[in-house]
Amino acid sequence: MAASSWAASPDVAPARMTSVVRSDSRTGRLVRSVVVSNRAVNQSAEQATPIPSGLNELVESIAARHDLSPQLIHAVIKTESNYNPHAISPKGALGLMQLMPSTARRFSVSHVFDPVENIEGGARYLKYLLELYDGDCPLALAAYNAGEAAVAKYNGIPPFPETQNYVVQVKNNLEKLAAAAQALQAPPSAVQPPPPPSGPTHVQEVVDADGTVRYVSR
């Protein structure tokens, strides 16, 4: 991925509404609730959300297949849905990587709430955008959020607070994930061997002129 500058975070982040579909434990019916939050998700809240079991292996496999960084996919998932596979945005984006229905169709995603298909489709879209913008990750992320037409119209990251904030949020999550992965791969610190014993090699008897006998180490 080519290195490039990242957009500055805007002063005010817009509100973000996320519709969550869950099964009611009593009736078994699907119930939809709407959660309103800042587009830049609170960091402490995000850090408290564990990665669902098995998702690391799935992301690793899909990332390898498309020659992508698994940390990038995780950073997008965390920013888009915070690992909620049933997330629905007010604009109709769906699932872990918040695919619009048109994007899902474009990348052959039939079951958008299925984590495997959703991540596969999102990864294929990210790969396409990275190739389209010659490895420029901020531009690819801006297009992922606002669409390719918006990036083309403004010849760069669009001046939308949500999109600018989105690019910065993914970057921040990516840096944290990369740092965590590097820490896991760091070799353990070398253990210094104990110093050799400081005891005498041998003791010698010395007789002074006055007849005093002393023992000294050599």
pLDDT in tens, 126-156: 999 999 999 999 999 999 999 999 999 999 9
Looking at residue 11, its pLDDT comes to: 35
Looking at residue 17, its pLDDT comes to: 44
- Asked, for residue 5, whether it belongs to a domain, the answer is no
Amino acid at the residue 92? G
The question of whether 162 is a catalytic residue gets the answer no
Q: How far apart are CA 75 and CA 135, in angstroms?
A: 17
Q: Is the pLDDT of residue 191 over 90?
A: no
- Asked, for residue 8, whether it belongs to a domain, the answer is no
Residue 11, classified by CB atoms within 10 Å of its CB into exposed (0-12), middle (13-18) or buried (19+), is: exposed
| Overall pTM surpassing 0.85 (yes/no) | no
- Asked, for residue 63, whether it belongs to a domain, the answer is yes
Choosing from 46, 60, 80, 117, the catalytic residue is 80
Q: What is the mean pLDDT of the chain?
A: 79
Looking at residue 65, its pLDDT comes to: 96
Number of structural domains the chain divides into:
1
Looking at residue 19, its pLDDT comes to: 44
Q: For 2-16, 42-56, 61-75, which range has the lowest pLDDT when averaged over its residues?
A: 2-16
Q: What's the CATH code of the domain at 138?
A: 1.10.530.10
Task: Give 115's contacts (C-beta < 8 A, 6+ positions apart).
Answer: 55, 58, 85, 95, 96
- Asked, for residue 180, whether it belongs to a domain, the answer is yes
- DSSP E strands in the chain: the ranges are 15-23, 30-38, 87-88, 203-207, 213-217
